[in-house]
Amino acid sequence: MGKFVISKRTNGEFQFNLVAGNGQIILSSEGYSAKPSCENGIESVIKNSQDETEFEKKKSSNGKSYFNLKATNGQIIGSSQMYESESSRDNGIVSVQSNAPNATIDDQTL
């Protein structure tokens, strides 16, 4: 089962990573100045990850594939790692869709 790991960056911002059951980070958030905003971001991932149209499939300048998960307002909630192939990226999307709804929250800022 996946989990959302909340942590604090060196600049004091909060962020979360969605980690799959195998320990791999499958989605990383932006930095949030307040913890409640970070927690709202997690709720947004849970909600929006079930809508395939909210995943934006991209290719980086070095040719690697990745994706962004967007909220209904178009704002990016989280981004994936870089993948060697489009099929690996698509598997990452499936992993977010299957892990996010029942993921636990591991708050490492307490």
Using CA atoms, how far apart are residues 57 and 72, in angstroms rounded to an integer? 16
DSSP 8-state class, residue 47: H
Nearest-CA neighbor of 78 among 42, 53, 50, 39? Answer: 42
What pLDDT was estimated at residue 18? 98
Ordered per-residue pLDDT tens for the chain, 110 residues:
899 999 999 999 999 999 999 999 999 999 999 999 999 999 999 999 999 999 999 999 999 999 999 999 999 999 999 999 999 999 999 999 999 999 999 999 98
DSSP 8-state class, residue 86: H
State the burial class of residue 14 (Cβ atoms within 10 Å of its Cβ: 0-12, 13-18, 19+): buried
Structure tokens at 9: 């960056």
Structure tokens at 101: 């709804």
The domain made up of 3-107 has a fold known as PH-domain like (2.30.29)
What pLDDT was estimated at residue 2? 96
What pLDDT was estimated at residue 5? 98
Q: In the chain, where are the structural domains located?
A: 3-107
Instruction: Write down the pTM of the prediction.
Output: 0.95
